[in-house]
Amino acid sequence: MRNEISWSLKQQLGDKTTYMTQDLKYELKKQIIEELNLEDMKPEDIKDDAPLFGDGLGLDSIDALELVVLMEKYHGIKITDEEVGKRVLASINTMAEFIVEENTKQK
């Protein structure tokens, strides 16, 4: 279903989807840096597909809670299921995809 929503949205918006998604990813990076006080980082330092936890950005379980709060604060999206959270908070790409999907459901 996730791919169906993404494909449907791309069909509706065409090339605009790419630009919107890139803007969203950049905003997510800025929000993560600000909310987690990653002062030495710039958005360009975070790769879209890099893992946010473990060997990637190196975030921990406390940071995961802050990301859940970030998703609700900035994007109006609640993550209440741990398994969904693990999937969604895996990378910038997965966070952006989830935001786009949830926003399409609300329309």
What does the domain layout of the chain look like in residue ranges? Answer: 2-106
CA angle in degrees (0–180, nearest 5) for 60-64-1: 125
- pTM here? 0.80
- C-alpha distances (whole Å) from 4 to each of 7, 10, 61, 69 are 5, 10, 31, 27
- Residue-by-residue pLDDT tens, the chain, 107 positions: 344 444 444 444 444 455 578 899 999 999 999 999 998 999 999 999 999 999 889 999 999 999 999 999 999 999 999 999 999 999 999 999 999 999 888 66
CA nearest to 102, candidates 91, 84, 90, 86: 84
- For domain 2-106, give the fold: 1.10.1200
For position 78, what pLDDT does the model report? 94
As given in the structure block, the two tokens for residue 24 are 């969203």
